[in-house]
Amino acid sequence: MSLVVFPFKEEDLAVVGSNLANAAGHSRIEEVWAVSAGDGDTMEAVERIASEVSGAPVRVFPQERMGRFRPGKGDGLNTALRLAAEVGFDRVHIYDADITNFGPDWIDGAEETADRGYYIVRHRFPRAATDAMITWMVTRPALAISFPGTILPRLGQPLGGEMLLTGEAVRRLAADPRVVERSDWGIDTMLTYATVAMGLPFWEHHIADGKRHALYGSLDEIRVMVVECLDAVRSLRGLPAPTTTLRSDPPAPIPEDLKRTVAYDLERTTALLTTGWTAAEAELAATLPMADLVMRNRERPFYEFLDAETWGVMLGDLLDRFVLGDPVWESLAFRLWLMRVLAYTTDQARLGYDAAIAYLESTIRYYEAGADHHGSR
């Protein structure tokens, strides 16, 4: 008995409708749940769409307040995990509601892998060279620093919300206080650690076409996600290093159109570096490594200095000192991340897709090697 869960808030209703229909129409799916964090109008619209879907029944309901962080995606996923554990589903699929190329092949791949005895199946997929910048600049580097030599920094999508969990994994997650408390964007990071730490058979399934979704204008659109994901990966430090073995599908050719995709507006994003500085943020910035270079951004955008080596030092300082909920720290951390993203975008990303991705992968190995040499933080 398999369930598909879509957490949603304010989405393109046509995309949500297509995804609900694809899930409900699949022969392996018993029920589909759409868990809402949005307002009443959005949920009512999805309810109308769900009532017209053929196949498995589709339930639309609001998420509960479960965690201790900002109410967000985590509350939606934890609501679904708790209810799914109570019902006793054999398998639970989780997919973001905004995937524009979601289809039966996502479910097929996960189900067929679970049929081979894997308790956790995480989807991985190619992304544009300037997409997934939280993954590349925060989560995977931090995992490499904190858990070198494990599978955690080698997972393709540690922030990916697309996976299959067997009933055993669902029950464990629903009872894990670290997972349940993470009510915000940090939930994907926490689920990544928790699922790997279980030690259950684990597989990465490759979606060759990539995960297609609406891209960004200014990266200010994901400011909250940046700081919440930073805090989540910071909170993992000191936890036991998992020993799970990574097994995955072989690589596949990258779609040519994905190689040409630009994930965000460079000009609008660059303008964020100089705006909104306060005296308190400048005072905090003065305590950073390379503070004089960072603070040049009060006058004009300046980010070329923030290469992989320098970012490793800066990220280590953030992992030591960042405070979620402190508006000064949040503003400064976001600004530093922007500098690193822009430095990469205007240098390595201009060399072409293959060179850019190879460079990004090399940075993860670099951070792992540094952690192995100096000891993880």
Domain spanning 2-253, CATH architecture: Alpha-Beta Complex (3.90)
| 354 band by pLDDT with thresholds 50, 70 and 90 | very high
Range 68-72, long-range pairs (CB < 8 A, 24+ positions): 68/181, 68/183, 69/181, 69/182, 69/183, 69/184, 69/186, 69/228, 69/324, 70/183, 70/184, 70/224, 70/228, 71/37, 71/183, 71/184, 72/37, 72/183, 72/184, 72/185, 72/187, 72/228
| 16 band by pLDDT with thresholds 50, 70 and 90 | very high
CATH 3.90.550.10 domain span(s) along the chain? 2-253
The backbone torsions φ and ψ at residue 97, rounded to the nearest 5 degrees and listed phi first, read -75, -15
Q: What average pLDDT does range 242-247 have in this prediction?
A: 93
pLDDT of residue 217: 87
**What is the C-alpha separation between 57 and 107, in angstroms, rounded?**
17
| 29 band by pLDDT with thresholds 50, 70 and 90 | very high
Q: Is the Cβ–Cβ distance between 366 and 153 less than 8 Å? A: no
Q: Answer yes or no: is pLDDT of 377 > 50.
A: no
3-state secondary structure of 246: coil
Q: Answer yes or no: is pLDDT of 208 > 50.
A: yes
Q: Is the Cβ–Cβ distance between 2 and 92 less than 8 Å? A: yes
Q: What is the mean pLDDT of the chain?
A: 95
Residues 76-123 pLDDT 10s: 999 999 999 999 999 999 999 999 999 999 999 999 999 999 999 999
Q: What average pLDDT does range 211-227 have in this prediction?
A: 91
Cα 174 to the chain's mean position, in Å?
19
Confirm whether pTM is higher than 0.85. yes
DSSP 28-47: TEEEEEEEE-S-HHHHHHHH
Element (H, E) at 60: strand 58-62
Q: Answer yes or no: is pLDDT of 371 > 90.
A: no
